[in-house]
Structure formats: C-alpha cells, structure tokens
Amino acid sequence: MAASTGGSGKGDKKGKKKHINKPTSEKYKRYTISGDSVKRAKSCPRCGAGIFLAMHSNRLYCGKCHYTEFLDKKA
C-alpha cells in the first residue's frame, strides 16, 4: 500500500494564479462627433440613457433587460 502525503489528492497546484485584466469599457465607440454636434447610438427605452442597444444584423438588443427591437426586412 502506497503512503499518502495528505491533502485531497486533486492536484498539486501551488501559488497564486496569474492576474488577467478584464477588457475595458468601449462606450466611447457609441458616440460620433461631426463638427459641433455629437451623435449617440440608440439607447434602451426601458433602462434609460447610458445603456446602449447592441447592433446585430437584423435587430437591436439590450443586454441588461433583454429588450429586442427587430429591424425592417427588405422584401
């Protein structure tokens, strides 16, 4: 019979994990400046200003409250 050295036997991981930074916010991409005017992307009608709708090929989508707006189909 082999002698056990103790522990749970689920691997010998030692030390801390390497810290990985999360990607930064890219809200600056939702604004376009042309001349003296600033245009904002469409915001969510339920959540209010500051929560932008994601642009997909056939819809606008809010990731916070799951509001979906379908775009017109070209027939």
Task: Concatenate the DSSP letters of all residues of 10-40 into one string.
Answer: S----SPPPP-PPPPP-GGGGEEEETTEEEE
| pLDDT of 53 higher than 70 | yes
Tokens representing residue 69 in the block: 């707006």
Residue 4 lies in a domain: no
Q: What percent of the chain has pLDDT over 90?
A: 56
Query: Which range of residues forms the domain containing residue 38?
Result: 30-70
When divided into structural domains, the chain yields a total of: 1
Residue 13 lies in a domain: no
Does some domain include residue 37? yes
Domain annotation covers residue 17: no
Question: pLDDT digits over 13-45, tens only?
Answer: 788 889 999 998 888 888 999 999 999 989 999
- The tokens describing 46, both together, are 């339920």
In a domain, 54, yes or no: yes
CA atoms within 13 A on the CB side of 62: 17
